[in-house]
Amino acid sequence: MSTISINNDQITAQFKTLGAELFSLKDKNNKEFIWEGNPNFWGKHSPILFPIVGSLKNNTFEYNDNSYSLPRHGFARELTFEVIDKKEDSVTFSLQSNEETQKKYPFSFELQLSYTLIGRSLHLGYKVINTSNTVLPFSIGGHPAFALPKAFDSYQLQFDGLDSLTFNLLEEGLISDQTKTIEIPNQQLNLEYQLFENDALVFKNISSKSVTILEENQPILKVDYSDFPDLGVWTPVNAPFICIEPWFGYSDTPNNSGKILEKEGIQLVTPKTFFESNYTITLL
């Protein structure tokens, strides 16, 4: 594994070739905004979720009458990407399917992750290329963890345009039909660990397309995800970070058929075409 750095006159970002993972984002004052990856809480920083987001029912799916097994959030975050383009302020990584990936996920693809710095923003681009002659089903998502150096209850999340939040509850890692709604005065959710006692908050088809992190009511960072329909927000209890996760798709439901082409939230790319989406992290 090697590391790659990009920078401009405002910010610096660093990545691992393992998983093409962002692991550092600093302003010109050397302030770090990405979680350090302490394994006592969670040993990742900002993994890519592909070719699934969340968990499959029984960790398996069916395709063409065969059964396949995939771990939670897929396998891309555990594989080494190739650098296919590098400039001072941008880098693009590529992962191509191979004999090993096809044992778990019987499809041919190329996954490209691009990172570009513009001013005080990092633009994250996803491109999923179907290199086969059959439909390519997948989910994809980001999982950036942002460092919260002060007490957890010193922070708020501001959801653009919302005064209440409705999220689906998780049931043994799967998405249940049960929902919960909480009011957020001034569009702000006060962070407290009890929100995450039952794992992540999962928002299907969320209408807010940006979340701002506030530290003692002062905005410090914004995530814009207008391309993405779904959102996860997560932290382990007592951990000093928060994950804001733009998603296409989410875990299976308990009554899921198991057939990947029927999976709720799945994306389908026709042969020899591609899917693209992007989101932006801005330091305020």
Phi, psi values for residue 99, rounded to 5°: -60, -35
Question: What are residue 136's DSSP bridge partners?
Answer: 269
Residue 119 within a domain = yes
Residue 182 lies in a domain: no
Residue 172's pLDDT is 84
Identify whether 95 is part of a domain: yes
Query: Is 259 a domain residue?
Result: yes
Q: What is the pTM of this model?
A: 0.96
Q: What is the pLDDT of residue 46?
A: 98
Across 115-129, b (16+ Cβ under 10 Å) vs e yields bbbeebbbbbbbbbb
Q: Per-residue pLDDT for 274 more than 90? A: yes
Establish if 264 belongs to a structural domain. yes
Indicate whether 211 belongs to any domain: no
Distance CA 78, CA 143 (A): 14
In CATH, what number is assigned to the domain containing residue 42? 2.70.98.10
Convert the pLDDT of each residue in 93-130 to its tens digit: 999 999 999 999 999 999 999 999 999 999 999 999 99
Q: Could you tell me if residue 174 is inside a domain?
A: no
18-22, 94-98, 178-182: least confident range: 178-182
In a domain, 65, yes or no: yes
- pLDDT band, residue 1 (cuts 50/70/90): confident
pLDDT, averaged across the chain: 96
Q: How far, in whole angstroms, is CA 100 from its chain's centroid?
A: 24
Domains of the chain: total: 1
| Residue range(s) defining the domain that contains residue 234 | 3-150+230-283
Share of the chain above pLDDT 90, in %: 95
